[in-house]
Amino acid sequence: MCIGLSIQQISTFLTVFVAFLAVFIAFSQMRIAREKLRFDIYAKRFEIYKNCVIYYIAVNEKKSNDEIKKSKELFTISMRESLFLFDDKKGIHSELKNFSQVMEKFKYKIENNHPVDPIDAENSLLNIEEKMKNYILFNKFSKWMV
């Protein structure tokens, strides 16, 4: 050999190199898995917010009874999921319950041709947005994002 390394030295070097490479790959996979989990949780949280908006729009725009019923079902499922996806101290679940009550009153007024002012429903939706803001702002999601 020209450079004076024996086969055993080269073998030792390659073994150490492969071991470091394996550790690097394992660490990278761990970080990717953690970010994937964070994104999945983010997506579920955003879905809850989206279902609130869909329910509000369905009622406010006087969609068909089937559309309102479907949007309410999605919202109800989202409200239940919120128990597991948000910190209790933030009050998001209680704000969603309040939104549900406000929307029922709003829907009742529309269905019975009472004068309707959507301000209560809009304010309730804005309160949800404010409480969920830190959970659903995508620019706060990951330091890996560009």
| Tokens describing residue 62 | 């006087």
Higher-pLDDT residue of 137, 63: 63
Q: Please report the pLDDT score of residue 117 as a whole number.
A: 86
Token pair of 7 as six digits: 């086969």
pLDDT at 4: 73
Task: Kindly state the average pLDDT of the residues 35-51.
Answer: 93
Distance, in Å, from the CA atom of 118 to the CA atom of 23, rounded to the nearest integer, reads 57
Residue whose C-alpha is closest to residue 97's, from 67, 128, 73, 126: 128
Length of the chain: 146
Please tell me the distance from the alpha carbon of residue 141 to that of residue 125, in angstroms, as a whole number: 22
Which tens digits make up the pLDDT trace of 98-146? 999 999 999 999 889 888 888 999 999 999 999 999 888 876 555 554 4
Q: In angstroms, rounded to a whole number, what is the distance separating the alpha carbons of residues 91 and 84? A: 13
**Angle, CA of 39, 131 and 101, to the nearest 5°:** 110
Task: Delimit the domains of the chain by residue range.
Answer: 43-140
Which residues neighbour 37 within 8 Å (Cβ) at sequence distance 6 or greater?
Answer: none
Helix (H) / strand (E) element for 112: namely none
Express each pLDDT in 78-103 by its tens digit.
999 999 999 888 899 999 999 999 99
Residue 78 near residue 43 (C-beta atoms within 8 A): no
Contact 59, 70 (CB under 8 A): no
pLDDT of residue 1: 46
Q: Which residue has the tokens 């101290």?
A: 89
